[in-house]
Amino acid sequence: MKESSNPFTYAPAPESRELVSIESSYDLFIDGKFIAPKSKKRFPSINPATEEVLSKISLGGKEDLDLAVKSARRAYEKVWSKLPGKERGKYLYRIARLMQERAREFAVLETLDNGKPIRETRDTDIPLAIQHFFYHAGWADKLEYAGHGSNPRAHGVVGQIIPWNFPLLMLAWKVAPALATGNTVVLKPAETTSLTALLFAQVCLDAGLPAGVINIVTGDGTTGASLIAHKGIDKFAFTGSTEVGKAINRALAATGRPVTLELGGKGANIVFEDAAIDQAVEGIVQGIFFNQGHVCCAGSRLLLQENIHDHFIEKLERRIEKIRVGDPMDKNTDLGAINSKEQLQKIVELTQSGEVEGAKAWQPDCALPSRGFWFRPTIFTNVTGAHRIAREEIFGPVLSVLTFRTPQEAIEKANNTPYGLAAGVWSEKGSRILWASRELKAGVIWANTYNKFDAASPFGGYKESGWGREGGRHGLLPYLTQSQTPRVRSGKGARK
């Protein structure tokens, strides 16, 4: 039945925009103060759902980064490295609590700035970001028990670059462990999504966090490149595309300075014939349409056992017809706006290639708003492993369906990618779940679930999806220098 003939259409249920006040322009947050950029440049940040300009964001230049790094260095040496862990922890607890108090404000701001549905910012992004601070706050005075030696030490000043898909959550993933381990931070938010980071700066001020412990330098790719090139940074962490990640690593490789990379993916979601079908359908939907598919660990390849293909696709299509696409501020919206025009163009280009290469596209018949950047949920069937849509990260609400006949074939196809971030497996058979989980070459395996995140759960990739983990005990390691155990008795050094 078409929506139009359904008497139970949901009336608009918009979240109140009045919860946030957005300034007409924003400065950089350096040394505990909001200061105008030395670059004198600012760029507009728009709401991708309406194309309305929300604010002007400062474009941090080299001079601004110099100030930020100096401020972070000073804060590290004078304050933060001298503070006992338990006191550092208290700051993080304060930040978590202040974020809880302003949770709805963060959610609304994130939705306006990013285009993702308020249901997701309210129920996922913001609560998880808060949990991340809460979790790491407790580590600050327990680092010697983290399994990295009895005297783990901070690197010093950490440079961090985060993506636009989960702006505040990725900030939390980066900032919380860095501060808990005793580092100070220079953070560059993504060009299109700076607003929640700037609100977070205000939270840090309200928490009384010492000046310079965290510095937020907004900007574009040039700002990021200057950050990577900065000699005053001891450790880097980047989340973003594999292409940029490799470029960063190439730039840093010769320096030997440590870098954590959390990059792209082409996650396989494998459904066996004995799966709990309705939950598997739900998991596939969560896997690819959560956050408009702007998820590095998205389950963008559905691997279906051939003998359930038609039945499963029918159920999946029926489920997708229920997805509510539209105004991200509406509490009933499931799929919001694509984050930017550029991203939309990329999705369009890749899906066109799918059709040219012979895959069959299906989309539900849903109306899209006239302004803003939108893309209908899309399924491609008749996809083969050689198609671009089966190999390249689309980073949008586009699912490629492939089939397999045996468990071995499923694993071979799932692993046939340079990526290795996440994979899913659906079966009601315990031994098969454990077998597949072992065989899959990916850092996160969601068995009979998908796209679940938790501050205590390590997250990160195999292969070209990056290295290092974020979250859990393992996520502390990249922010600590390990105290190495004594050398082998004969020592090292050249023998004459």
Partner 1 sequence: MSQERIDVKKTYKLFINGAFPRSESGRSYPIFRKASKVLLAQPAQASRKDLRDAVRAAREARSKWQSATSYNRSQILYRIAEMMEGRRSQFVEEIMAQTSATKSVAEKEVSESIDLWVWYAGWCDKIGQISGANNPINGPFYNFTSPEPVGVVGVFAEPDFPLLGLVRAMAPALVGGNTVVVLASEKRPLSAITLSEVIATSDVPAGVINILTGLRSELTPWLASHMEVDGLDISGEKSRSAEIRTLATENLKRIADFNTSISPNRILALMDQKTIWHPIGL
Partner 2 sequence: MSQLRTSKSDLARDFGISDDRSLSLFLKTLPGVDQVGAEARAVELGTRSIKKESKAWAIDMAISMVDLTTLEGADTEGKVRSLCNKAHRPDPTDPSVPHVGAVCVYNDMVKIARSHLDSIGANEIPVAAVATAFPSGRASREVKLRDTRDAIEAGASEIDMVIDRGAFLSGHYKSVFDEIVAIKKECGEKAHLKVILETGELVTYDNVRRASYLAMIAGADFIKTSTGKVTPAATPPVVLIMLQAVRDFFDRTGIRIGVKPAGGIRTSKDAIKQLVLVNEIAGPEWLSPAYFRIGASALLNDLLMQRFKMRDGYYASSNYVSIE
Q: Which residues are catalytic?
A: 262, 296
* Residue 123 beta carbon to partner 2: minimum distance, rounded to whole angstroms: 7
- Which tokens in the block code for residue 495? 């023998």
Q: Where are the beta strands (DSSP E) in 277-342?
A: 301-305
Window of 196-204, 317-325, 400-408, 443-451 that interacts with partner 1 by CB under 8 A: 443-451
Among 179, 446, 476, 479, binds partner 1 (CB under 8 A): 446
- Residue 195, SS3? helix
Contact 407, 435 (CB under 8 A): yes
* Residue 95 beta carbon to partner 1: minimum distance, rounded to whole angstroms: 18
H or E segment at 277?
Answer: helix 277-289
Among 173, 238, 467, 479, binds partner 1 (CB under 8 A): 467
The verdict on 147 binding partner 1 (CB under 8 A) reads: yes
* Phi, psi torsion values for 121, nearest 5 degrees: -65, -40
Residue position matching structure tokens 């030490």: 153
- Which tokens in the block code for residue 403? 């089939």
Residue position matching structure tokens 């505040």: 168
Window of 48-56, 94-102, 288-296, 482-490 that interacts with partner 1 by CB under 8 A: 482-490
Q: Are strands 28-30 and 33-35 parallel, antiparallel or unpaired?
A: antiparallel
Considering CB distances under 5 to 8 angstroms, the limit depending on partner class, which of partner 2, partner 1, none binds residue 79? none
The verdict on 458 binding partner 1 (CB under 8 A) reads: yes
The verdict on 495 binding partner 1 (CB under 8 A) reads: yes
Nearer to partner 2, 17 or 86 (CB): 17
How many residues bind partner 2, per CB under 8 A? 28
Window of 43-51, 53-61, 391-399, 487-495 that interacts with partner 1 by CB under 8 A: 487-495
The verdict on 256 binding partner 2 (CB under 8 A) reads: no
* Residue 244 beta carbon to partner 1: minimum distance, rounded to whole angstroms: 12
* Residue 293 beta carbon to partner 2: minimum distance, rounded to whole angstroms: 18
Nearer to partner 1, 41 or 441 (CB): 441
Nearer to partner 1, 168 or 480 (CB): 480
The verdict on 278 binding partner 2 (CB under 8 A) reads: yes
Rounded CA separation 207/90 (Å) = 10
* Residue 11 beta carbon to partner 2: minimum distance, rounded to whole angstroms: 4
* Residue 308 beta carbon to partner 2: minimum distance, rounded to whole angstroms: 10
Across 261-296, b (16+ Cβ under 10 Å) vs e yields bbbbbbbbbbbbeebebeebbebbbbbbbbbbbbbb
* Residue 324 beta carbon to partner 2: minimum distance, rounded to whole angstroms: 9
Measured CA to CA in angstroms, residue 267 lies from 151, 264, 302, 448 at distances of 38, 9, 8, 14
The verdict on 489 binding partner 1 (CB under 8 A) reads: yes
The verdict on 277 binding partner 2 (CB under 8 A) reads: yes
Nearer to partner 1, 92 or 411 (CB): 411
Contact 185, 160 (CB under 8 A): yes
DSSP string, 424-444: EEE-S-HHHHHHHHHHS--SE
Among 250, 365, 370, 431, binds partner 1 (CB under 8 A): 250
Per-residue DSSP letter, 203: H
The verdict on 138 binding partner 1 (CB under 8 A) reads: no
51: left (phi over 0), alpha (psi -120 to 50) or beta: left
Shortest CA distance to 166 belongs to which of 106, 208, 89? 106
Q: Which residues bind partner 2 (CB under 8 A)?
A: 1, 5-13, 119, 123, 274-279, 282-283, 311, 314, 322, 331-332, 428, 448-449
